[in-house]
Structure 1
Amino acid sequence: MWFRSALFCVFAVVLALAGALIGHAISYDFASKIGAKSVDNILNVLASSMLAVTTFSLTAMVSAYSGATSNITPRAVQLLIEDSTAQNALATFLGSFLFAIVGIIALSTGLYGETGRVILYAGTILVIVVIVVTFVRWIEHIARFGRVSDTIERVERAAMGAVHGMAQRPRFGPRERIAIPDSATKIHHTGIGRVTYVDLAQLADVAEDAGAEINPVALPGTLVDPARLLAWTTATLDDKQVQSIRDAFTIEHNRTFDHDPRFGLVVLSEIASRALSPAVNDPGTAIAVIEAGTRVMARILRHKPDPDRSPPAGVNVPPFALPDLLEDLYRPIARDGAGTIEVGVRLQKALAALQHIDEGARADCAAVATDALSRAHPAFDSAADAERLARIHARYWPAGG
């Protein structure tokens, strides 16, 4: 945001210098015809109005962040902060204010006469055009900025982007215990935080130097600490190589969406859980989340890793376990939506859709669907609702089938 504002300020300084240095090349008659004398008044109006518009825009953005934090989920706020349209709008308005201030200061120096004002006048007209276009876009954008539906779409897009960068397809079946030889060299991190990125190229360089495979264990999103295994290898490593492996893992305090598809699913489930709370009681939003999350899960099941993004030789990257992904998305919704027949039915149908996309996911989807059914039955006040949900479950997962 500061970069765009700085560009406007640099633009104003360049115009002021250009007016002083090359303004004499413009004829006086031409300058008098186009009304360059009025640039003083225009800049004064621009300075006062842009300060008010900037304050208004900043207030609207802060209100959207606050609303998302209290009514949706705090984890989605970072997507609103990264919104390019909002950043462009605020930077444009602030930069225009700075442009007007620099222009007024330049005019007050008296370095150039009437002809030099023409250059500043032309630049002011250009800035006004940019302001009008940006303001129209901002009005259209702010009507939905930070709303629940808008936030769900943002989280879905972020999760889809993370899926595109996955190194492998998900692995079906329950989580497997990692078999690590007793003689293996185990690398732990000295800090505490979340893995946000793994530099596979750097790990491959270490593997080539050591002459053995590097096996990272902590995928993006994993909470690491001095007791949590980061990676292991059968080779004997020196201190420099161990530190190089640690440096390949970017550790931050909070999870990010870029390389962590599980985080997107977690945030979607949090939005649904907030909507299903007694204070909100909005099953429609929960159903919208289920549909968005199911689209992400379908993308994960259909995912074919890009050869250019595949792990380099010497690095063995473990895949995400599908049951973990399913539980991240559906289990909180099944827990908080127990007793709401609309949510229960949508959950069963969503899981049934996933098993038809990839037959290998059938057992994992059936386990999550059975868990959702077991949570819903005791919470129903109506026997008819319980019977209907059981009938729908049996339609997709018949007993003994």
Structure 2
Amino acid sequence: MTRLRWLIIDLTRRLWVRSTLFAVAGIFSAVAGIVLEPWIPGEWSLRIGAESVGNVLHIMASSMLAVATFSLTTMVSAYAGASNATTPRVTELLIRDNSAQNAVATFVGSFLFSLVGIIALNAGVYGEGGRIVLMLSTIAVIVLIVLTLLRWIDLLARFGRVGDAIARVEAVASSSLRALWEQPCYGARMRIGPPPRAASVIGKRIGYVQHIDLAALEQLAAENDGEVHVEVMPGNFVDNTVPLAWLNFAPDEAALRRVRGAFDIGATRSFDQDPRFGVVVLAEIAIKALSPGINDAGTAITTLSTLNRVLAILAEPREQDSEIDYPHVFVPPMAVEDLFEDAFSPISQSGAGDLAVGIRLQKTLQSMHRLGHPAFRAAARKQSQLALKRARLALPLDEDFKRLEALALAD
């Protein structure tokens, strides 16, 4: 994914962008009556009751402002509730929910549509033909509002709940891991061994790598008949002493700027190119559920089942190797051991004293082990033994520990 495309996708996820587009569409619909008036017969106005459009617009203006305010208040409450019940990282997924954004944008756009229509009517801009167009546009807007309200009411029944949060994180984590399974190195070549130490590119910003424009790096490497070896991947924290990449050719200042420009660095991690982040957030939900203030082992068990489904994607058999889109760019492979560490180590630490969570954790690791992937088998054994050692220190009854010991994978 190029940097421009990534920026456009990120921009379209912002609430104000969609609200602005709907608002502009609403204003355009109200103004359309002025433009189309010469082509509309004036005698149609009495037949369809276009004279009453002013009353309808007044009702719509007052109600849509109230509905939009209520919707925003509900969304903010849902964000706070999800953050308290799960993890603050889930809030990002709720904010960019398409249905919620469409609802607010529709209500704001409808309010501005009615407001512009009222102003134009009072100014005497519309003739008989213009009133007909405005009336038809108002009917279309009302139908859109009704459909949006029905979807919005259905969404509010589950918006921001724990189950909804887990499902959203599972969706983005599965999508990210599926992309990694299809292209283990994001379309670049796999870096084996240490990179060449010809020239390093040091970043000038501090934060998390959110996106890497591999196409830009490929173009630069091809122009210089060389190679770019990426050192940091999305999700890694970097500062102004960490090399972003290594080059096997001597770069000039312009080339260094192009390499740095290919790395988008921000204050937080992003779900898009960072498959480990989704796994980390799922583990955080389980940890929050196991905290003394919540003490919800059922949510932790549900999260373990979700992690089982998500991680199993990487163990699916491959019929053929993925295509190489960037032959001059080399990236390090994703370590399965790191994924298992992100997923299971925090849960085994927080749930060491809970027998039910310990049993589900061992069964989940057994499932990972049975998938047959060599890296999965080794990582599952390591996490199983680590969880068993933690349970030995936390469980007061020997009988409970022996139950876990019987389920644990042999080291």
TM-score w.r.t. structure 2 length? 0.89
Paired residues for 1:10-49 under 5 Å: 10-23=24-37, 25-49=39-63
- Report SS of the residue matched to 1:313: strand
Cα distance change on mapping 1:162 and 1:8 into 2, 3 Å:
closer
Cα distance in 1 for partners of 2:50, 2:109 equals: 22
Q: How many Å apart are 1:38 and its aligned residue?
A: 1.1
1:220-254 deviation line (CA, Å, top 9, x unaligned):
10111122221113332222222222221111111
Cα distance change on mapping 1:115 and 1:156 into 2, 3 Å:
same
Cα distance in 1 for partners of 2:194, 2:107 equals: 58
1:354-388 deviation line (CA, Å, top 9, x unaligned):
12213302122101110011111211122221111
- Report SS of the residue matched to 2:246: strand
Cα distance in 1 for partners of 2:225, 2:174 equals: 36
Maintained 8 Å contact 1:191/1:225: yes
Maintained 8 Å contact 2:177/2:314: yes
1:369: which partner in 2?
A: 384
Maintained 8 Å contact 1:169/1:301: no
Cα distance in 2 for partners of 1:199, 1:21 equals: 45
Maintained 8 Å contact 2:209/2:236: yes
1:262: which partner in 2?
A: 276
1:287-332 deviation line (CA, Å, top 9, x unaligned):
1111111211101222759977645111111111111110001000
More off after superposition, 156-165 vs 215-224: 156-165
1:125-173 deviation line (CA, Å, top 9, x unaligned):
1100000000000000011011111011111111111113324179xxx
1:382: which partner in 2?
A: 397
Query: What letter is aligned with 2:287?
Result: S
Cα distance change on mapping 1:148 and 1:303 into 2, 3 Å:
farther
Query: What letter is aligned with 1:375?
Result: R
- Report SS of the residue matched to 2:200: strand
More off after superposition, 21-30 vs 117-126: 21-30
1:34-69 deviation line (CA, Å, top 9, x unaligned):
211111111111011111111110011000111122
Maintained 8 Å contact 1:169/1:304: no
Maintained 8 Å contact 1:19/1:117: yes
Cα distance in 2 for partners of 1:125, 1:55 equals: 23
Cα distance in 2 for partners of 1:306, 1:125 equals: 54
Q: How many Å apart are 1:177 and its aligned residue?
A: 11
The yes-or-no answer on 1:189 pairing with 2:185 is no
Q: How many Å apart are 1:267 and its aligned residue?
A: 0.6
Q: How many Å apart are 1:211 and its aligned residue?
A: 3.0
Maintained 8 Å contact 1:162/1:258: yes
Equivalent pairs, count: 390
Paired residues for 1:113-152 under 5 Å: 113-152=127-166
Cα distance in 2 for partners of 1:71, 1:190 equals: 37
More off after superposition, 278-287 vs 228-237: 228-237
Q: How many Å apart are 1:207 and its aligned residue?
A: 2.1
- Where in structure 1 do 4 or more consecutive aligned residues deviate above 6 Å? 305-309
Cα distance in 2 for partners of 1:142, 1:303 equals: 39
Query: What letter is aligned with 1:283?
Result: A
Q: How many Å apart are 1:24 and its aligned residue?
A: 5.2
2:5: which partner in 1?
A: none
2:303: which partner in 1?
A: 289
Cα distance in 1 for partners of 2:206, 2:168 equals: 29
Structure 1: gaps spanning 5 or more residues: 171-175
Cα distance in 2 for partners of 1:235, 1:124 equals: 63
2:85: which partner in 1?
A: 71
> Which of 168, 172, 178 matches 1:164?
178
Cα distance in 2 for partners of 1:333, 1:370 equals: 14
1:337: which partner in 2?
A: 351
More off after superposition, 267-276 vs 204-213: 204-213
Root-mean-square deviation (CA, aligned residues, Å) is 2.3
Cα distance in 2 for partners of 1:238, 1:369 equals: 50
Cα distance change on mapping 1:303 and 1:129 into 2, 3 Å:
farther
Maintained 8 Å contact 1:168/1:305: no
Cα distance change on mapping 1:380 and 1:225 into 2, 3 Å:
same
- Report SS of the residue matched to 2:326: coil
1:230: which partner in 2?
A: 244
- Report SS of the residue matched to 2:209: strand
Cα distance in 2 for partners of 1:303, 1:20 equals: 62
Cα distance change on mapping 1:9 and 1:266 into 2, 3 Å:
closer
Cα distance change on mapping 1:113 and 1:235 into 2, 3 Å:
closer
More off after superposition, 261-270 vs 195-204: 195-204
More off after superposition, 305-314 vs 277-286: 305-314
Cα distance in 2 for partners of 1:365, 1:169 equals: 23
TM-score w.r.t. structure 1 length? 0.91
1:197-223 deviation line (CA, Å, top 9, x unaligned):
111122222222333322111011011
Using the aligned pairs only, state the percent identity: 44
1:173: which partner in 2?
A: none
1:80-115 deviation line (CA, Å, top 9, x unaligned):
001000000000011111111001001001123344
Structure 2: gaps spanning 5 or more residues: 1-14
Cα distance change on mapping 1:358 and 1:245 into 2, 3 Å:
farther
2:6: which partner in 1?
A: none
Maintained 8 Å contact 2:30/2:113: no
